[in-house]
C-alpha cells in the first residue's frame, strides 16, 4: 500500500476528531458525485459494451451502499445536521470526483474502467487501515466503521466485471491503453491530493 501520512495518523490514533469529521463531510460530497458519474458511464456503455455497463452499474450500486453506511461514521465523529449543511468542501478533496466526472464525459468506458481499477488496491488498503485505527484508538463501533469495512473488502464480482469490460473494449478497438494509463495516473494523483489536503487541514 502507498504511504499515506493521514491514513497513518488515523491508524495510529493521532488524528483529531475534527479531521475525522472533515473526512466524513468530504466523502458525503464525493459519493453522490461518483454515483452519478458511474450511472452516466453505464448509460454510455449500454449500446455495444455490456461488460462495461455491468461494471459501472456495480460501482453505482456500491456507492449507494456506501452512502447508507457513511451516516454512522459521521455521527460517531460528532457531525451535526447543521454542520453538514454549512460545510464548505475543500477544493483539493473535490478534485477527485471532478475528474471522475470528466472521465464519465470524455473517456471511453473501457478506458475509464482501467483508470479506476488502477486505484482500487490503494483505496481498499487505506480503508482497511482506517477501520482498524478507528476501532482500536477511537472506540468506534462496527456500525461506525462499516463505510470503511465495505471498501476494504475485495470484490471478486467487480474484478470479473472489470476484466470483461477491458477485454470487450480491446476487442472492439475502443481501448487506448496508453491513454487509459495517463487517466489512471491522474486519478491517483487526485486521490493523493484528497488525502494531503485533509492532512494539511489537520496540521
Q: Which of 75, 92, 82, 88 is nearest to 21 (CA)?
A: 75
Please tell me the distance from the alpha carbon of residue 15 to that of residue 8, in angstroms, as a whole number: 9
Phi/psi of residue 146, each to 5°?
A: -60, -35
Please tell me the distance from the alpha carbon of residue 3 to that of residue 6, in angstroms, as a whole number: 9
Q: How confident is the model at residue 30 (pLDDT cuts 50, 70, 90)?
A: very high
Is a pLDDT exceeding 70 seen at residue 23? yes
Is a pLDDT exceeding 90 seen at residue 77? yes
**pLDDT value for 48:** 87
**pLDDT value for 61:** 98
**pLDDT value for 203:** 57
Is a pLDDT exceeding 70 seen at residue 202? no
Instruction: State pTM to two decimals.
Output: 0.95
**Cβ pair 174, 108 in contact under 8 A:** yes
How is the chain classified by DSSP, letter by letter? ----HHHHHHHTT-S-HHHHHHHHHHHHHHHHHHHHHHHHHHHHHTTT-HHHHHHHHHHHHHHHHHHHHHHHHHHHTT--HHHHHH----HHHHHHHHHHHHHHHHS-HHHHHHHHHTTHHHHHHHHHHHHHHHHHHH---HHHHHHHHHHHS--HHHHHHHHHHHHHHHHTT---HHHHHHHHHHHHHHHHHHHHHHHHHH-
Q: How confident is the model at residue 150 (pLDDT cuts 50, 70, 90)?
A: very high
| Mean per-residue pLDDT over the chain, rounded | 95
Please tell me the distance from the alpha carbon of residue 69 to that of residue 201, in angstroms, as a whole number: 24
Please compute the mean of the pLDDT values over residues 155-176 and round it to a whole number: 95
Query: Residue 107 is placed in which grid cell?
Result: 473517456
Give the lowest-confidence range in 18-32, 82-96, 101-115, 189-203: 189-203
Task: Tell me the percentage of the chain whose pLDDT exceeds 70.
Answer: 98
Please tell me the distance from the alpha carbon of residue 140 to that of residue 78, in angstroms, as a whole number: 12
Residue with cell 453522490: 32
Is a pLDDT exceeding 90 seen at residue 3? no
Residue with cell 478507528: 134
Please compute the mean of the pLDDT values over residues 108-117 and round it to a whole number: 96
**pLDDT value for 201:** 74
Is a pLDDT exceeding 70 seen at residue 126? yes
Please tell me the distance from the alpha carbon of residue 38 to that of residue 56, in angstroms, as a whole number: 5
Is a pLDDT exceeding 90 seen at residue 153? yes
- Would you call 122 exposed, middle or buried from its count of C-beta atoms within 10 A (0-12, 13-18, 19+)? middle
Q: How confident is the model at residue 128 (pLDDT cuts 50, 70, 90)?
A: very high
Query: Residue 22 is placed in which grid cell?
Result: 472533515
Please compute the mean of the pLDDT values over residues 172-193 and round it to a whole number: 95
Domains of the chain: 5-202 (1.20.910.10)
Amino acid at each position: 500500500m502507498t504511504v499515506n501520512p493521514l491514513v497513518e495518523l488515523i491508524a495510529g490514533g493521532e488524528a483529531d476528531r475534527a479531521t475525522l469529521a472533515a473526512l466524513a463531510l468530504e466523502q458525503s460530497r464525493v459519493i453522490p458525485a461518483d454515483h452519478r458519474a458511474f450511472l452516466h458511464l453505464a448509460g454510455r456503455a449500454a449500446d455495444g459494451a455490456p461488460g462495461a455497463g455491468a461494471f459501472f452499474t456495480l460501482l453505482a450500486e456500491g456507492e449507494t451502499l456506501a452512502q447508507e453506511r457513511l451516516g454512522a461514521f459521521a455521527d460517531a465523529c460528532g457531525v451535526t445536521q447543521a454542520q453538514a449543511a454549512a460545510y464548505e468542501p475543500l477544493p483539493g478533496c473535490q478534485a477527485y470526483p471532478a475528474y471522475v466526472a470528466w472521465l464519465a464525459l470524455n473517456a471511453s468506458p473501457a478506458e475509464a474502467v482501467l483508470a479506476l481499477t488502477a486505484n482500487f488496491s490503494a483505496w481498499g488498503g487505506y480503508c482497511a487501515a482506517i477501520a482498524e485505527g478507528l476501532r482500536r484508538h477511537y472506540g468506534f463501533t462496527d456500525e461506525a466503521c462499516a463505510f470503511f469495512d465495505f471498501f476494504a473488502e475485495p470484490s471478486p464480482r467487480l474484478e470479473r466485471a472489470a476484466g470483461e469490460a477491458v477485454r470487450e473494449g480491446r476487442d472492439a478497438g475502443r481501448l487506448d491503453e496508453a491513454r487509459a494509463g495517463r487517466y489512471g495516473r491522474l486519478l491517483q494523483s487526485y486521490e493523493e491530493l484528497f488525502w494531503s489536503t485533509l492532512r494539511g487541514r489537520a496540521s
